[in-house]
Amino acid sequence: MTKPTYTDYFFDEPAYNTHDGGYVPLEESDAPQMALRIPPLLKPDKETATDTYYTVDAQEGETQLLPGKKTKTWGYNTTLLGQTLIFPKGKTMHIDLKNSLKELTTFHWHGLNVPGPYEDGGCHAPVYPGETKHIDFKVDQPAATLWLHAHPCPSTAEQVWHGLAGMVLVTDDQEAKLPFPRNYGVDDVPLVLQDRRFHEDNQWDYNKDYDPDGVQGPTPMINGTINPYFDVTTQRIRLRILNGANRREWRLHFSNDLPFTQVASDGGVMPEPVNFTHLMLTCAERAEIIVDFGSVKPGETVTLYSDDTPIVRFRIHEYEHEDVTLPDHLVDIPDPEVTADTPVRKVVMDGMDEYVMMDGKKFNMQRIDARQKVGNVEYWDITNNNDKDSGMVHPYHMHGTQFLVVSRNGKASYPNEHGYKDTVGVNPGETVRLKVRFDKPGVFMYHCHIIEHEDGGMMAQIEAYDPEHPKTYKLMDMDTLMNAFAKERGVDVKDLHLAGMRSYAKMGMKM
């Protein structure tokens, strides 16, 4: 049976072009075209059949993004973004987290199912300047495209904007048997989608660009490349796309509406492939797509657009023709029954600008907002209270789990939401039902992934607990973090101004 090809975006966001006049349209840069940067693979310090050892170093640097002066940037083991880490399923990872920055940071493994809050790397796991901390965990989830980014409340947005975001690829034997391209950097290509505004001397200025609804810039930046091209030397390529922007949704399509097939989302390979000509990704979502250039002649160029702005040009070279058909069914995924006699949990994301909240409250690092037993499967109803006519999509993210999207306002979830996810866009006026299970104990955050919204307080935290092995956790407090940031920046704490603090101050609250 021929599968349908979806030709329009699923999401409905009236705020996309209208909210407060604050949307910043993308513009094509007049900079010379550059070859797309491919993040190199991070070389392990040591590797055995069962264990891999890495050092991940958050550092400052300078990157040649535009002609003229280099831009001051941050990255993991490089000057911008990060070297890609490979996590084979079944292996135990031993990771030294090194902070070579001048201020504290954290290392959050977005989408990785590890214990919390320390291994998970949220706000309770700061690594101070000059420090190295060590974590160990076993990789026990399916192959997927994940990512690593900073998460130090309330400065997550600024540190990600500086460049702290890198790819993490989980591999396994099941995915290896599927007919997917997997020659990294040749036909298996990461695409980190971000946007920036360049100021004097090619520099970024986060505070000048600050918007409590999310910082945006008009210039697309893909893998830390402005105006990139990629030389295609195979008929099919696999694009591992990450929306690594602070605020922007990306509305993706190719020139001439060239169709493509999504085969994986946040949590890994989907049960069935889904064909598209247009795909929208909200903040922090990932999509793995396979593009077949068999209808394109060598010497031609196919352009990937977001809305009407070109973001990557694919220059087609001679390639060997291949006759590969994806199976109609890719993998079986577990769909566990909901645990009997558990209530439906309700989460409400409310507000915009500085007035964002979760369940009528702003985030408090010392407050546990919910508790769920490890191994229980429960329904969570996530509501976006924004007005249907003027509100924003809120991308909802949960640490420490991969969930299933059950329904949207009681109707079927989108066709590419039938696999596991850790981030889901919730339309204004909509309730999305999730099926959630925690397999590891810990304290985990859940929040809007418009990063300025989470910094501004649209975030809460849950304890996943094992009654047979109770644990206590040392949770950070905001005063400790504020004093540390003030010391590192050489100011008195009363004179400290971090962007996320503004949302609390606007509502007459102390962080």
Coil, helix or strand for 159? helix
Peptide bond between residue 259 and the one before it cis (omega within 30 degrees of 0): no
Q: Domain total for the chain?
A: 3
Decide if pLDDT at 497 tops 90: no
The arithmetic mean of pLDDT across residues 266-287, rounded, is 97
End-to-end CA distance of the chain: 56
The arithmetic mean of pLDDT across residues 168-184, rounded, is 98
Q: What pLDDT band is residue 1 in, cutting at 50, 70 and 90?
A: low
CB 123 within 8 A of CB 151: yes
Mean pLDDT, the chain, as a whole number? 94
Is 203 in the same domain as 240? yes
Is 166 in the same domain as 244? no
Is 235 in the same domain as 292? yes
Q: Write the pLDDT tens digit of every residue in 230-268.
A: 999 999 999 999 999 999 999 999 999 999 999 999 999
Which residues are registered as beta bridge partners of 425? 395
CATH number of the domain to which 474 belongs: 2.60.40.420
Domain that holds residue 428: 345-478
Which residues are registered as beta bridge partners of 448? 396
Is 63 in the same domain as 159? yes
Q: What pLDDT score was predicted for residue 11?
A: 59
Is 311 in the same domain as 456? no
Residue 390 structure tokens: 């003027």
Is 237 in the same domain as 356? no
The arithmetic mean of pLDDT across residues 390-413, rounded, is 94
The arithmetic mean of pLDDT across residues 283-289, rounded, is 99
Is 220 in the same domain as 298? yes
The arithmetic mean of pLDDT across residues 24-53, rounded, is 97
Decide if pLDDT at 14 tops 80: no
Distance between CA atoms of 135 and 441, rounded to whole angstroms?
16
Give the dihedral sign, CA 67/73/77/81: negative
Domain annotation covers residue 115: yes
The CA–CA distances, whole Å, from 124 to 108, 120, 144, 471 equal 10, 9, 25, 15
Q: What pLDDT band is residue 499 in, cutting at 50, 70 and 90?
A: confident
Decide if pLDDT at 22 tops 70: no
Peptide bond between residue 154 and the one before it cis (omega within 30 degrees of 0): yes
Q: Which of 121, 197, 198 is nearest to 156 (CA)?
A: 121
CB 267 within 8 A of CB 285: no
CB 151 within 8 A of CB 121: yes
Q: Write the pLDDT tens digit of every residue in 84-111.
A: 999 999 999 999 999 999 999 999 999 9
Distance between CA atoms of 13 and 119, rounded to whole angstroms?
35
From 172, 197, 221, give the residue that closes a domain.
Answer: 172
Q: What pLDDT band is residue 229 in, cutting at 50, 70 and 90?
A: very high
From 296, 316, 336, give the residue that closes a domain.
Answer: 316
Q: What pLDDT score was predicted for residue 260?
A: 98
Domain annotation covers residue 328: no
Q: Write the pLDDT tens digit of every residue in 470-480.
A: 999 999 888 88
Give the dihedral sign, CA 382/244/415/392: positive
Domain annotation covers residue 451: yes
Torsion angle of the four alpha carbons 485, 489, 495, 499, in this order, in degrees rounded to the nearest 10: -60
Q: Write the pLDDT tens digit of every residue in 116-160.
A: 999 999 999 999 999 999 999 999 999 999 999 999 989 999 999
Q: What pLDDT score was predicted for residue 127?
A: 98
Q: What pLDDT score was predicted for residue 19?
A: 39
Distance between CA atoms of 226 and 34, rounded to whole angstroms?
7
Q: What pLDDT score was predicted for residue 391?
A: 81
HEC states along 21-49? HCCCCCCCCCCCCEECCCCCECCCCEECC
The arithmetic mean of pLDDT across residues 464-485, rounded, is 91
Is 51 in the same domain as 164? yes
Question: Which comes out higher in pLDDT, residue 359 or 479?
Answer: 359
Q: Which of 252, 272, 243 is nearest to 10 (CA)?
A: 252
Q: What pLDDT score was predicted for residue 511?
A: 59
Paired sense of beta strands 144-149 and 108-110, if any? antiparallel
Domain annotation covers residue 262: yes
Distance between CA atoms of 488 and 98, rounded to whole angstroms?
17
Decide if pLDDT at 370 tops 80: yes
Is 113 in the same domain as 235? no
Domain annotation covers residue 336: no
Count of CB atoms situated within 10 Å of the CB of 134: 11
Decide if pLDDT at 114 tops 60: yes
Is 168 in the same domain as 19? yes
Q: What pLDDT score was predicted for residue 477?
A: 87
Distance between CA atoms of 133 and 148, rounded to whole angstroms?
16
CA 46 to chain centre: 28
Decide if pLDDT at 214 tops 50: yes
Domain annotation covers residue 232: yes
Is 162 in the same domain as 34? yes
CB 122 within 8 A of CB 116: yes
Q: Which helix (H) or strand (E) holds 160?
A: helix 156-162
Domain annotation covers residue 340: no
Give the dihedral sign, CA 274/276/280/286: positive
Distance between CA atoms of 156 and 499, rounded to whole angstroms?
10
Q: What pLDDT band is residue 9 in, cutting at 50, 70 and 90?
A: confident
Decide if pLDDT at 18 tops 60: no
Q: How many residues does the chain have?
A: 511
Is 232 in the same domain as 164? no
Q: What pLDDT score was predicted for residue 387?
A: 81
Domain annotation covers residue 358: yes
Distance between CA atoms of 487 and 264, rounded to whole angstroms?
44
Q: What pLDDT score was predicted for residue 15?
A: 42
Q: What pLDDT band is residue 192 in, cutting at 50, 70 and 90?
A: very high
Q: Please identify which residue in the block is written with the tokens 């249907």.
A: 388
